[in-house]
């Protein structure tokens, strides 16, 4: 039974393109993955997924032809950072207004169920 195999390729362990091993996926492999995922596929769906997965592998084969030896590994295509406001204490003038909406309170505090 053929398996899809993708050797790790990065700047520390470069693998020439000629050594990349890419196998096609057959219907038996699709059945095995479907079984592991607890999916019941019809024969038509098996055929459809076999074609789609092989299309993805073909794309990876095209990508493996690119020279990535000078490209730094990343987790995202673009830099992403969270924009957060500073966590500054801001007193609220009408504390009673907030406490009136609480399901339970103890004086000036919210009362919550004990969890431990």
Q: What is the pLDDT of residues 48-64, one digit of tens each?
A: 999 999 999 888 888 88
Task: With residue 64 as reference, give the H or E element that holds it.
Answer: none
* Ramachandran assignment for 115, one of left (phi > 0), alpha (psi -120 to 50 degrees), beta (any other): alpha
- Full-model pTM: 0.45
> Whole-angstrom Cα distance, residue 55 to residue 61?
10
Of 19 and 79, the one with more pLDDT: 79
Residue 28 domain-assigned (yes or no): yes
In a domain, 114, yes or no: no
Look at residue 5 in the predicted model and tell me its pLDDT: 47
Q: Which CATH number belongs to the domain containing residue 59 in this structure? A: 1.10.20.60
The confidence band for 9, taking pLDDT boundaries of 50, 70 and 90, is very low
Residue 111 CB partners (closer than 8 Å, separation 6+): 102, 104, 105
Expressed as residue numbers, the domain containing 54 is 1-72
| Residue 22 domain-assigned (yes or no) | yes
In a domain, 55, yes or no: yes
Q: Is residue 62 part of a domain?
A: yes
Q: Is residue 106 part of a domain?
A: no
In a domain, 78, yes or no: no
In a domain, 66, yes or no: yes
* Average pLDDT over every residue of 3-27: 55
Number of domains in the chain: 1
């Amino acid at each position: 039974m053929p398996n899809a195999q993708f050797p790790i390729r990065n700047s520390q362990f470069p693998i020439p393109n000629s050594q990349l091993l890419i196998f096609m996926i057959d219907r038996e492999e699709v059945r095995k993955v479907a079984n592991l995922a607890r999916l019941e596929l019809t024969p038509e769906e098996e055929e459809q997924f076999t074609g789609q997965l092989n299309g993805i592998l073909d794309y990876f084969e095209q990508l493996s032809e690119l020279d990535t030896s000078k490209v730094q590994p990343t987790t995202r295509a673009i830099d992403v950072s969270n924009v957060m406001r500073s966590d500054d204490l801001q007193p609220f003038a009408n504390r009673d207004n907030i406490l009136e909406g609480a399901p339970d309170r103890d004086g000036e505090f919210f009362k919550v169920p004990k969890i431990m």
